[in-house]
């Protein structure tokens, strides 16, 4: 029994030509922050070691609040009226002439 176990463990020797399984990439682990927002200081051999990572996070300004992105339809409502085919006071005044605001009929030259 012991002989068969040692033979199974020994197995065929690995050579450089045989492919080996690639090493798994290190997982992206975030460092946990200290509870209560306190930065932890450690002392080793009488020297104090500050947690500069924690202090930098505390001293960094807050991220600016970005508003939600606008909708595509909102961009259409921001266009000038002449780009959307709507009349503007300038075009109506040009068309109506001196009767603008006084008559519903546009100004026409006398025949």
pLDDT for 47-102, tens place per residue? 888 788 888 888 888 888 888 777 778 788 888 888 888 889 888 888 888 888 88
- pLDDT tens-digit series, residues 53-68: 888 888 888 888 888 7
Q: How far apart are CA 71 and CA 61, in angstroms?
A: 29
What is the distance in angstroms between the CA of the first residue and the CA of the last residue of the chain?
125
pTM for the whole structure: 0.28
Biggest alpha carbon–alpha carbon distance for the chain: 125
């Amino acid at each position: 029994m012991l002989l068969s176990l040692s033979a199974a463990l020994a197995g065929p020797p690995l050579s450089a030509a045989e492919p080996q399984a690639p090493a798994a990439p290190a997982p992206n682990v975030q460092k946990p922050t200290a509870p209560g927002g306190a930065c932890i200081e450690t002392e080793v051999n009488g020297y104090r070691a500050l947690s500069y990572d924690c202090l930098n996070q505390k001293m960094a300004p807050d991220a600016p609040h970005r508003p939600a992105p606008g909708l595509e339809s909102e961009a259409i409502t921001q266009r000038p009226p002449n780009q959307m085919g709507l009349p503007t006071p300038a075009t109506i005044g040009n068309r109506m002439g001196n009767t603008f605001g006084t008559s519903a009929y546009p100004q026409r030259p006398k025949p």
